[in-house]
C-alpha cells in the first residue's frame, strides 16, 4: 500500500476533506474511513516522519523542537510579560503536535467540562464526554512492581481498553517522584485515586506510550498507519491548505499548495470540509477564507462569507513559570544522562535491547493540580474582586458578543476559582528538575489574527497574558506556595536549593520576577474557534458546525471554549472521538 499519496494520485473529489493531519484530524479520518464506502482525504502541511528516535523514544522528548517538524510560530511582544514574545512549538508533521508533545496523558476534572456545557453546549459536560475519553484510549494498568514500589492506584471503570491512543506507565519511574507526591501531601494536598475521574490533587499519571514497543503513542502510528490500509483513506503530506472554498456560504472544497511559490490546486469535498489545523492556524485559515470578524476581513481585503467576530478571539493557554532548582541529595536523575555520556550510552543500549530504564521516561509521571483554597487563604477575596470587575481586559474594540461571552466565561471561571472540586494551579518537578508552576484557569484572553493575505506567513499571535490583573494576584500566592512545597521535609530530603530567585519577599519583588521570567504558554494553545452560541462570540455550534457556512466543521483544540486544568491531549482525543460520531450521525 501507499503510505501517502502524490498529488497526481488524488481523486477529484472526496466525501470529506480534512485540513490538518495532526491529533484531531487523524483520529477523525481513522473513524470516518472505518466505513469503507466513505472517502476521506487528509491534507497535512508537514511530512511523514522517518521513524526518527527524536519522535519515538520517550527519553528523547523535546528533541524535535526547533526542527523542520516544528512550525516555530513567532508571537507578538506582551505588555505584561517582558519576554513574552516567544516562538511557539507546534507539530508540522503527520501526527501534528501529538508527534512532539511531552506525552503527559491525563484529564481535567469534571467541573472543567461541566463549564463547557454551562456555556450552552449540551452534551459536552463530563457525563457527555466520559464515553469519549473511554473510547479514545487503550489503558494499561501500572505493573505490580510499580504498584508496590510507588503505590499507584487507578479506577478501571473510567478507563478504555480499545482506543487508538495508549495510556500506559513506563517500566521505570525516578525514585524522587515519590518525594513530590509526599511533599504535596505534607502541604495538605490529597493524593487522587485516579486522575481519570478525579483530577484535583496530586497524582501519578500515565503517558501516551505504547507499552509493547515502549515508543511514543501518537496519531501517526495509531491512526494514520491503521487507516492507510483502507483504499478509501488518502493523505497528502507536505501540502498546506491555502483557502476553504465556498459558494453561497456552502463549503465545497479546498485550495492547497506545496509552498508559497508553488502552484495552487483544488480538491472538492462533496459532504464536508473538516478543519483540524490546530488552534493557531485554523483561525488564520478561516479568516483568509472569509470567515471571521468583518472589520478584520475588510482590513485585509477578504470578501466576507460569514461575519463571525469570534474567529481568533478567546485565545487561551496555560501561562507557566520555571523556577530553577538544584538538588544535592539525588541518587539518580535525568541530569545524570545529560552530564555523563558513558552512562547515557549504557542506558540507551539497555533501552534498545530490553525497552527498560530511564529512556522509557518522557516528561514524567506525577503532577499536582490544586484548588485555590489549598494554596492561598485569599480565595473569597479574589473571587469577590473578580465578580466586581467591570473591565474585561479584552483587546481594544472587542465585539459586544465576544465581550458578553467572555463575561459569561468569567462568571463560571470564578465559581471554579472558589471551588474545592476544581484546580486553578498546576505544580510539577518532573523527575527532579526545575519547579514548574502553571496557571490553569487564567481570566486573560488573547487573539489570533491573519496579518496578511499570504497563507504561508504566520498569523499575529497575541496571548495578552496577565492583562487581567487578577491572574497575577493568583500567581503571586501560587509562587509562594511553590516555595513552601520545595521546603517541605520530603523536598528537603532531596536537598532542593532554589537556584536563582534569591531573597524575593515582597509582592512587588515577586511580581517583578514573574514578569521577567514567566512564559505566556505551556504549549496548550486553544479556544480560538470556540464552541458557544453565536450571540456570545461562538464560532461553532454544539455539533461543531461553523455558524453561517454549511458543510464546514472545526474539530481541533480551537473549539474548546475554556481550557481545562490539564495538559490538553487526552481532552482533544475525546473531542475528536465525539466529533467523529457527530459527523457520522449527521450524514
Ligand X SMILES: Cc1cc2nc3c(=O)[nH]c(=O)nc-3n(C[C@H](O)[C@H](O)[C@H](O)COP(=O)(O)OP(=O)(O)OC[C@H]3O[C@@H](n4cnc5c(N)ncnc54)[C@H](O)[C@@H]3O)c2cc1C
Binding site members for FAD: 93, 241
Q: Decide: helix, strand or coil at residue 384.
A: helix
Minimum CB separation of residue 202 from ligand X in Å reads 17
Q: Which is nearer to ligand X, 382 or 560 (CB)?
A: 560
Q: What own/partner pairs with CB < 8 Å and gap ≥ 24 does 417-421 have?
A: 417/372, 417/379, 417/382, 417/383, 417/386, 417/441, 417/474, 418/372, 418/373, 418/379, 418/380, 418/383, 419/111, 419/371, 420/200, 420/371, 420/373, 420/374, 421/109, 421/110, 421/111, 421/200, 421/371
DSSP 317-381: ---EEEE-EEESS-S--HHHHHH-HHHHHHHHHHHHHHS-SGGG-SS-SEEEEE-GGGT-S-HHH
Asked if residue 285 binds ligand X (CB under 6 A), the reply is yes
Give a three-class secondary structure readout of 17-60.
Answer: EEECCCHHHHHHHHHHCCCCCCCEEEECCCECCCCCHHHHCHHH
By CB under 6 A, the residues from 532 to 561 that bind ligand X are 556-557
Structure-derived torsion over alpha carbons of residues 497, 503, 504, 506, reported in degrees to the nearest 10: 130
Per-residue binding string, ligand X, 221-240, x by CB under 6 A, is -------------------x
Measured CA to CA in angstroms, residue 262 lies from 2, 47, 234, 238, 282 at distances of 24, 16, 21, 12, 21
Among the candidate windows 88-96, 133-141, 375-383, 398-406, which touches ligand X by CB under 6 A?
88-96
Quote the crossing angle between the two packed helices 469-486 and 379-387, to the nearest 10°: 170
Asked if residue 241 binds ligand X (CB under 6 A), the reply is yes
Active site annotation includes 166: no
Asked if residue 277 binds ligand X (CB under 6 A), the reply is yes
Residues in the annotated binding site: 93, 241
Q: Which is nearer to ligand X, 22 or 201 (CB)?
A: 22
Q: Which is nearer to ligand X, 107 or 408 (CB)?
A: 107
Q: Which of 106, 159, 166, 524 is catalytic?
A: 524
Does residue 41 contact residue 235 with C-beta atoms inside 8 Å? yes
Q: Which is nearer to ligand X, 334 or 469 (CB)?
A: 334
Q: Which of 166, 281, 441, 567 is catalytic?
A: 567
Q: Which is nearer to ligand X, 98 or 374 (CB)?
A: 98
Question: Which residue from 568, 574, 579, 580 is in contact with ligand X, where contact means CB under 6 A?
Answer: 568
Question: Which residue from 445, 524, 545, 578 is in contact with ligand X, where contact means CB under 6 A?
Answer: 524
By CB under 6 A, the residues from 9 to 48 that bind ligand X are 19-25, 43-46
Minimum CB separation of residue 387 from ligand X in Å reads 31
Per-residue binding string, ligand X, 90-119, x by CB under 6 A, is xxx---xxx-xxxxx---------------
Cα angle 57, 159, 279; round to 5: 60
Q: Which is nearer to ligand X, 206 or 386 (CB)?
A: 206
Does residue 206 contact residue 169 with C-beta atoms inside 8 Å? yes
Active site annotation includes 51: no
By CB under 6 A, the residues from 369 to 428 that bind ligand X are none
Q: How far is CA 481 from the centre of its chain?
A: 25
Asked if residue 527 binds ligand X (CB under 6 A), the reply is no
Among the candidate windows 83-91, 123-131, 311-319, 371-379, which touches ligand X by CB under 6 A?
83-91
User: Site residues (CB under 6 A) for ligand X?
Assistant: 19-25, 43-46, 89-92, 96-98, 100-104, 240-241, 276-279, 281, 285, 363, 523-524, 556-557, 567-570, 572
| Active site residue ranges | 524, 567
Amino acid at each position: 500500500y501507499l503510505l501517502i499519496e502524490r498529488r497526481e494520485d488524488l481523486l477529484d473529489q472526496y466525501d470529506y476533506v480534512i485540513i490538518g493531519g495532526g491529533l484531531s484530524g487523524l483520529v477523525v479520518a481513522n473513524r470516518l474511513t472505518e466505513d469503507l464506502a466513505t472517502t476521506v482525504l487528509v491534507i497535512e502541511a508537514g511530512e511523514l516522519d522517518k521513524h526518527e528516535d527524536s519522535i519515538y523514544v520517550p527519553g528523547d522528548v523535546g528533541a524535535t523542537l526547533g526542527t523542520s517538524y516544528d512550525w516555530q510560530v513567532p508571537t507578538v511582544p506582551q505588555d505584561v510579560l517582558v519576554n513574552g514574545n516567544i516562538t511557539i512549538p507546534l507539530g508540522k508533521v503527520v501526527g501534528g503536535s501529538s508527534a512532539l508533545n511531552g506525552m503527559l496523558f491525563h484529564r481535567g476534572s469534571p467541573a472543567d467540562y461541566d463549564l463547557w456545557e454551562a456555556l450552552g453546549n449540551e452534551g459536552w459536560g463530563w457525563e457527555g464526554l466520559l464515553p469519549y475519553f473511554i473510547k479514545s484510549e487503550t489503558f494499561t494498568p501500572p505493573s505490580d512492581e510499580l504498584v508496590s514500589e510507588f503505590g499507584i492506584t487507578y479506577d478501571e471503570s473510567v478507563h478504555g481498553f480499545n482506543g487508538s491512543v495508549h495510556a500506559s506507565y513506563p517500566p521505570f519511574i525516578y525514585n524522587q517522584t515519590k518525594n513530590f507526591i509526599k511533599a504535596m501531601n505534607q502541604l495538605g494536598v490529597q493524593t487522587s485515586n485516579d486522575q481519570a475521574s478525579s483530577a484535583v490533587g496530586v497524582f501519578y499519571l500515565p503517558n501516551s506510550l505504547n507499552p509493547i514497543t515502549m515508543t511514543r503513542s501518537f496519531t501517526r502510528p495509531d491512526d494514520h498507519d491503521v487507516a492507510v490500509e483502507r483504499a478509501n483513506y488518502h493523505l497528502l503530506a507536505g501540502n498546506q491548505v491555502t483557502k476553504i472554498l465556498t459558494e453561497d456560504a456552502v463549503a465545497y472544497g479546498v485550495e492547497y499548495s506545496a509552498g508559497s511559490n508553488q502552484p495552487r490546486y483544488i480538491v472538492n469535498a462533496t459532504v464536508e470540509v473538516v478543519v483540524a489545523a490546530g488552534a493557531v492556524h485554523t483561525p488564520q485559515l478561516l479568516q483568509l477564507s472569509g470567515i471571521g470578524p468583518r472589520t478584520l476581513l475588510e482590513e485585509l481585503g477578504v470578501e466576507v462569507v460569514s461575519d463571525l467576530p469570534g474567529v481568533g478571539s478567546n485565545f487561551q493557554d496555560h501561562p507557566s513559570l520555571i523556577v530553577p532548582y538544584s538538588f544535592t541529595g539525588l541518587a539518580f536523575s535525568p541530569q545524570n544522562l545529560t552530564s555523563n555520556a558513558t552512562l547515557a550510552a549504557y542506558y540507551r543500549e539497555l533501552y534498545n535491547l530490553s525497552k527498560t530504564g530511564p529512556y522509557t521516561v518522557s516528561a514524567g509521571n506525577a503532577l499536582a493540580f490544586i484548588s485555590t483554597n489549598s494554596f492561598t487563604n485569599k480565595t473569597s477575596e479574589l473571587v469577590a474582586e473578580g465578580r466586581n470587575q467591570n473591565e474585561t481586559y479584552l483587546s481594544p474594540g472587542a465585539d459586544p458578543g465576544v465581550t458578553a461571552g467572555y463575561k459569561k466565561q468569567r462568571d463560571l471561571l470564578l465559581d471554579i476559582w472558589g471551588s474545592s472540586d476544581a484546580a486553578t494551579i498546576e505544580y510539577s518537578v518532573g523527575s527532579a528538575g526545575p519547579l514548574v508552576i502553571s496557571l490553569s484557569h487564567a481570566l486573560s484572553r488573547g487573539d489570533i489574527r491573519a496579518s496578511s493575505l499570504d497563507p504561508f506567513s504566520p498569523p499575529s499571535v497575541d496571548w495578552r497574558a496577565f492583562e487581567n490583573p487578577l491572574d497575577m494576584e493568583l500567581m503571586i500566592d501560587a509562587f509562594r506556595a511553590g516555595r513552601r512545597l520545595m521546603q517541605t521535609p520530603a523536598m528537603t530530603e532531596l536537598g532542593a536549593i532554589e537556584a536563582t530567585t534569591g531573597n524575593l519577599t515582597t509582592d512587588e519583588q515577586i511580581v517583578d520576577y514573574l514578569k521577567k521570567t514567566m512564559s505566556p504558554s505551556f504549549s496548550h494553545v486553544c479556544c480560538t474557534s470556540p464552541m458557544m452560541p453565536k450571540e456570545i462570540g461562538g464560532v461553532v455550534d454544539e455539533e461543531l458546525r461553523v455558524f453561517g457556512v454549511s458543510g464546514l466543521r472545526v474539530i481541533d483544540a480551537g473549539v474548546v471554549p475554556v481550557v481545562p486544568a490539564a495538559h490538553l491531549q487526552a481532552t482533544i482525543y475525546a473531542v475528536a472521538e465525539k466529533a467523529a460520531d457527530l459527523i457520522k450521525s449527521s450524514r
